[in-house]
Amino acid sequence: MIFLTGCWNLEEIENRSFVLGVGFDLTPEGQVQCTVQLPRPQALNFARGQSPVAPQEQFSSITATGATPWDALAQINKITSRHLYLGHLQVIVVGEEMARQGINPVIDGLQRYAVINRRAAVVLARNARQIMEAPVRGELTPAMYFQTFFSSKPTPESTENVPIWRVRHDLLMPAHAAHIPRVTLADGQFRLEGFGLIANGRLSGDLPGAQARGLALARGQVRDGSFALKTGDRSVTVRVQKVGRRLTGTWWDGGEAHIRLSLDVHGQIEENDQLGLAIPPDLYTRFEAKLANQVKEEAMNAIAVAQKSGADVFNFGEYMRIADPYDWNPDSWAEKFRTADIQVSVRARIDRTGMFE
């Protein structure tokens, strides 16, 4: 009896389909369209001397519609010959229209299921099905592209790996908003750049590529960002390696929130327009001032976009709560955040110059 308790759950591995990616779109009729991406192990098993299969044959995708995300997934289960196994899920792609209507059912349904990989990345796309079906160069399946992109190198500053558990956390925290990286498809290649801002479970704002870095700067999360700086006839490229973020002041005044954000930027000279020519100290100071101004401008732009959307993705609400925990009302923060007086001060230092003086 003891050893038989597990037999009900016995499932041979050949009877499973491993879902690597899942995408959700909203149809014009208001139904949820789900697309799953399944690798084809048989197509990868080629004998010596034969050419490998084409990228589009290394995986298959299946689409079905349903009233809700989980219903759509259940419809796919009716189509496939094998049982869908979500334990190896790498990416969840949410279509824009779906996100505008509400992302909560997607996150809730997937998180309730204990097997699902909590570290699966969530990305936003204009059309999730298109992303799920697009063969991508250099990777076996599109889902693996996202997994490799986020794990093999420092993440570029205009995007971020946001796993599903983090999205759920951001959505559940009162007075907090989520941000989800955007993916686009151009010339058969994915491009991860920009963020969608999710407030109250709905897509409420956008930070395209150029502005997306400002979000990372204001959150103090830039690890590898390049800034091209020009002063007079000299120009350099500085790689920002670290941004220290401090909230130097948070207070309420007549119901209006006041926030003072300080950013401490550290960078390294990446390239100098004049080979071998040393950079004099006063020029360093000017470049540092330029860097500080540029960082401040980008951070303020990102904050302005977030304020317009009512999406506090910077965790400012938490600091305001701590400033006055007894009178804190999370329900009113979205409105107060829109009109909050937020100022950013930046101090930039170019600490290193690489192998040159």
Partner 1 sequence: MKPVKAGNKLISSNEMMPLVYCATVAYGIIVGPKMLVEFGREASPLLSALGLGLAVGVIILSVKMAQRFPHLTAFQWIIRLLGPLGYVPAVTLLLYLLALQSVHAYNFAVLLQMLFLDRTPLPVIIVGGMAAAFYGVHLGIEALSRFFRIIVYLEYLVLVPLLLLGPSSFTWTHFMPFYPLDTRTWLLGPLVALGSYLGYAHAPLGLLPYVRDHERALRPSLVGLALAGLIITGATTVTLGVFGPETVRLTAYPTFEYSQVLRMPQPLMFLSRYSLFFGIVWVVAIMKLAMLDMFISAIGVQQIVGVRNFKVALAGVTLVVAVGAMLIPNPRVGEQLVVNVALLGVALSLGLLPLLGLLVVLLRRRADKVAQST
Interaction site with partner 1 (CB under 8 A) = 1-2, 4-9, 114, 117-119, 163, 165, 168-169, 172-174, 315, 318-319, 321-322, 325-326
Residue closer to partner 1, measured from CB, 43 or 247 = 247
Question: Least distance to partner 1 from the beta carbon of 315, Å?
Answer: 6
Q: How far is the CB of 328 from partner 1 (least distance, A)?
A: 10
Packing angle, helices 164-172 and 104-112, rounded to 10: 120
Instruction: Specify the residue for token string 């499932």.
Output: 11
| Pick 114 or 186: Cβ nearer partner 1 | 114
**Would you say 194 or 317 has its CB closer to partner 1?**
317
247 vs 254: CA distance, rounded Å: 20
Residue 81: CB atoms within 10 A of its CB come to 6
Q: How far is the CB of 174 from partner 1 (least distance, A)?
A: 7
Structure tokens at 237: 């490229």
Q: Which is nearer to partner 1, 266 or 321 (CB)?
A: 321
Between residues 246 and 308, which has the closer beta carbon with respect to partner 1?
Answer: 246
CB of 162 to partner 1, least distance (A): 12
Minimum CB–partner distance for residue 355 and partner 1 (Å): 28
CA-to-CA separations, 310 to 205, 232, 288, in angstroms, rounded: 9, 40, 32
Smallest distance, partner 1 to C-beta of residue 3, A = 8
Instruction: Encode the chain in three state secondary structure.
Output: CCCCCCHHHCCCHHHEEECCEEEEEECCCCCEEEEEEEECHHHHCCCCCCCCCCHHHCEEEEEEEECCHHHHHHHHHHHCCCEEECCCCCEEEEEHHHHHHCCHHHHHHHHHCCCCCCCCEEEEECCHHHHHHCCCCCCCCHHHHHHHHHHCCCCCCCCCCCEHHHHHHHHHCCCCCEEEEEEEEECCEEEEEEEEEEECCEEEEEECHHHHHHHHHHCCCCCCEEEEEEECCEEEEEEEEEEEEEEEEEEEECCEEEEEEEEEEEEEEEEECCCCCCCCHHHHHHHHHHHHHHHHHHHHHHHHHHHHHCCCCCCHHHHHHHHCCCCCCHHHHHHHHHCCEEEEEEEEEEEECCCCC
CB of 6 to partner 1, least distance (A): 6
Nearest to 41, CA basis, from 140, 144, 130:
140
Q: Among residues 55 and 163, whose Cβ is nearest to partner 1?
A: 163
Q: In the bound complex, what is the minimum distance in angstroms from residue 109's beta carbon to partner 1? A: 15
- Of the pair 87, 208, the CB lying nearest partner 1 is at 87
Q: Between 1 and 47, name the residue whose CB sits nearer to partner 1.
A: 1
Comparing CB distances to partner 1, the nearer of 174 and 280 is 174
Q: How far is the CB of 244 from partner 1 (least distance, A)?
A: 14
